[in-house]
Amino acid sequence: ASRVLSELSRRHTLVEWLGKRENQHLLKREQLKLVLSQLAEEEPDKFADECDLLVQSPNVRFHLKHLVLAVIAQEVPTPRLSTIVMKWLSVQDLADRVLDTVFWGHPKWISVLDEKGVLVAWIDSKDSALRHRALNLLKSVASIDPERVVKHIRRIQAANPSDTDTVVRMLPFSVGDKAGHFLPIRLDLLERGVIQHYFDWHHLGQSFPREAIAYFKFFLSKVHVTKSNSSSSPVSWKLREPYQKCFDHMGEYGFDGLASAADAYPAELWNSCIDLITQLSLPLNPSISREDIQCSFHTYNHEHELMVCAVRLLIIAGIKRAQTEGANLFHETTKYHDTRSPITDLILAEAYSELPSECSDEVLDWLLAVPARLTASEHQEGVSKWQAASNLIKKHAATCSDRVFHSVEQFLVFYKPPKLIEKVKRCLEWSREGFYSAFWGNDQHALLTALPTHRISQFTQGLVGTLERRHAKYPFDSGVRLSAAGGWVVSPVHDKADHLSDKTWLRIIQS
């Protein structure tokens, strides 16, 4: 490069040094690249002048002109170089190449256009080609220079709030790109019903957890609850149009990303979602019972995916907060103790099972205040309906005061589940037909066994022993909701049926 620069001083310009077009081979290209880089560092103004000559000379081949533009794109725009490059934009044959090579995706050169007022003039122009050119240039640096793009978006919104199409054109395709800068703008578009991009919940939750929580809260706020005609699911939760497609393919992979966000910012997720979930899970009217809501919530329905996801995230956040904040969480959540929401009770039960021993008395008092909380896990697939209450009792019954322990023990021994009379009648009808089913003791077996054995009375010890022996032989009701599946059973005889003797057929039938 130094040798070429010394030659340059004798031959005046790089155009002369390059010589005839047929001699401008690839070796010359590499030499030119080194010379331009050194010249830009040592003599910026001379570099600008040489670039001007090279780009506009008819004696320089296209691939070398493109190299010059690529080198310029990497350099800092000096006043002289900026003036020359801006001059090229008025040359019809050069403008598109200069925009694509020098300006596209290079924030320092986009700033030259912005500072000279060119971007604003193009955006406000009635010429659609100029307008689209400016919008595309801004979009090319949206992931690198988001502040500049946001500034122009705000100016456009102030002039024409309904012009959402222009705003969408300026945003990066991925919701995760500079998520924090574009969050208010994207939320405003979503509020207007503009769903412009695919939500990669896994990437969003892993890389931008706080933004993921904000988006999730927005979509949860768009869920509405309605009464259903289905007997197995009397209540239905649906995401309003046009937001459903944002959760069409979330699945466990997407949930894992949100779960990491809940683990990283548990208080933020809790405060964003707990009030919404509580409101959505209240009985619509007196004809809808607590059990109806539980049954509907845990009955598989693709439309309920967002609600189920929110509850799972709140349980993760609640457990994390209980482990780190202790008694403060309990005192903060007392306002949810009388909400009548079975889903909120389930979330609180899961979180309270991780509270420290200093909260044991208050937690157990909360559990017994509403007997239905003993079956907070009811209708969850593969989970005992007493699981949440059992975990709570196991954690706190060992450390609570004698007064509270005695109250819990007595309450569980004499606890009568809802609809006990209906269950007794049903069991008696079955017994007349030769089918025996216990109508009492399943709840006691599940919950009394969670009490610490060294604290229970002799009477309770005897009762637990009786229940253990009975359930070991006749596991009448595990409280677990089972799932069903169908399929085909293929006969082992199949094509061999014609070869079986009558004696063999008789043995098969009798077996």
What backbone torsions phi and psi does residue 227 show, to the nearest 5 degrees?
-80, 135
Q: Between residues 230 and 14, which one has the greater pLDDT?
A: 14
| Phi/psi of residue 484, nearest 5 degrees | -115, 155
> Per-residue pLDDT tens for 372-401?
898 888 766 667 888 999 999 999 999 999
SS3 sequence, 89-154?
CCCHHHHHHHHHHHHCCCHHHHHHHHHCCHHHHHHCCCCHHHHHHHHHHHHHCCCCCHHHHHHHHH
- Encoded amino acid at 321, one letter: R
* Vertex 83: Cα angle to 79 and 85 (nearest 5): 115
Least confident span in 41-45, 331-335, 428-432: 428-432
What pLDDT was estimated at residue 482?
Answer: 44
DSSP string, 318-356: HHHHHHHHTHHHHHHGGGGTTS--HHHHHHHHHHHTTS-
Average pLDDT (279-287) is 82
- Longest CA span, the chain: 117
Instruction: Return the structure tokens found at 149.
Output: 């793009």
292 — pLDDT class (breaks 50, 70, 90): confident
Per-residue pLDDT for 406 more than 80? yes
Spacing of C-alpha 365 from chain mean position: 35
Rounded CA-CA distance 323/319 in Å is: 6
Residue 337: band (very low, low, confident or very high) from pLDDT cuts 50, 70, 90: very high
Mean predicted lDDT score pLDDT of the chain = 84
Whether the per-residue pLDDT at 316 is higher than 80: the answer is: yes
Domain ranges of the chain: 195-355, 394-510
Q: What is the DSSP letter of 236?
A: E
Q: Tell me, what DSSP letter sits at residue 456?
A: S
For residue 260 the two structure tokens come to 């990491």
Cα of first residue to Cα of last residue in the chain, in angstroms, is: 95
Flag the least confident range among 128-137, 146-155, 464-473: 464-473
Q: Which pLDDT belongs to residue 239?
A: 84
The string of pLDDT tens digits covering residues 146-195 is 999 999 999 998 988 888 888 888 888 777 666 678 888 888 888 888 87
Instruction: Produce one character per residue of 452-480: b if its CB has 16 or more CB atoms within 10 Å, e if not.
Output: eeeebeeebeebbeebeeebeeeeebebe
- Phi, psi dihedral angles at 77 (to 5 degrees): -70, 105
Say if residue 115's pLDDT is above 90.
yes
Between CA 49 and CA 123 the distance in angstroms is 31
pTM of the entire structure? 0.77
Lowest mean pLDDT among 48-62, 243-257, 362-376, 476-490: 476-490
Higher pLDDT, 359 or 445: 359
Is the model's pLDDT at 308 over the cut of 70? yes
CA 454 to chain centre: 45
Supply φ then ψ for residue 172, to 5 degrees.
-65, 150
Residues 427, 411: Cα–Cα separation, whole Å: 24
On the CB side of 33, CA atoms within 13 Å amount to 14
Q: What is the mean pLDDT of residues 1-18?
A: 67
Number of neighbours of residue 324 by Cβ within 10 angstroms: 12
Q: Which range among 380-384, 483-487, 488-492 has the greatest average pLDDT? A: 380-384
Q: Which of 238-252, 322-336, 376-390, 473-487 is predicted with the least confidence, judged by mean pLDDT?
A: 473-487
Specify the pLDDT at position 225: 85
